[in-house]
Homo-oligomer: A and B are copies of this chain.
Amino acid sequence: MSKSQPKFRRTAPAVRREALVDATLRCLKKYGHDGVSIRKISAEAGVSIGLINHHFPSKSGLIAETYESLARSLRESASEQSSGKNATSRERLSGFFQASFAPTLADPELFNVWIVFWSMVRHSEEIRAVHDRTYDDYRGVLESLLSELARCGDAPKFKLRQAAIGLSALMDGLWVELSLSPATVKPADAIALCEDWVSALCAGSFARLLK
């Protein structure tokens, strides 16, 4: 009966915070909205109930940080597939679509996590701030990809921001349908619809987007 094992291990706050954020993400995937629970998250992380409030001011603070972390992770995953050096702007967009609707990102579990964040935007100031930043960044990525189209002469001049709003809406909507109705909508359908949308943009078929 020697004291071979310490009861717990002290960890640098930054590391612990990240571990708690990871556990939160796993909980949201597993339980959906019911996963937003200090008790479930601490159990998932293998720590005591009290530790979370030592590292985070409140539950919503932890959720907000998880939102921020996941958004960054997804943005990086999708972006790295659209950053080929020797690719045309159109090919980069295709890569972005492929990555966005690959099983890793178009995952029903991830959708459920996102739903939890969306449901908190209206009532939590912290979450809304993260959402606004996240959505700006996302639209910015799309604007950047679309602006290359116009610059390379592949498309007529169009209203960049409105186009990005439209494309992000199309992608978001397809992502929702993929997650909620996987039997009806397939990833290949989603990609085809996005490709067609870009083709129509290049063809100048979106009259109200031209300038």
Which residues of B are found within 8 Å of A162, using beta-carbon distances?
A: 189, 192-193
Q: Are B193 and A166 in contact (CB under 8 A)?
A: yes
Establish whether residues A112 and B108, one from each chain, have CB atoms under 8 Å apart when the complex forms.
no
- What B residues does A139 contact at CB under 8 A? 184
Q: Could you tell me the dominant secondary structure of chain A's interface residues?
A: helix
Interface assignment of A33: CB less than 8 Å from any CB of chain B: yes
- A187-202 toward B: CB 8 Å interface, digit per residue (1/0)? 0011011011101100
A-side residues, CB < 8 A to B, are: 32-34, 108, 112, 115-116, 118-119, 121-123, 131-132, 135, 139, 162, 165-166, 168-174, 176-177, 180-181, 184-185, 189-190, 192-193, 195-197, 199-200, 203, 205-209
Q: List 13 A-B contacts (CB under 8 A).
A: A32-B119, A112-B119, A165-B185, A165-B189, A165-B193, A166-B196, A168-B177, A169-B176, A169-B190, A196-B206, A196-B208, A199-B207, A203-B203
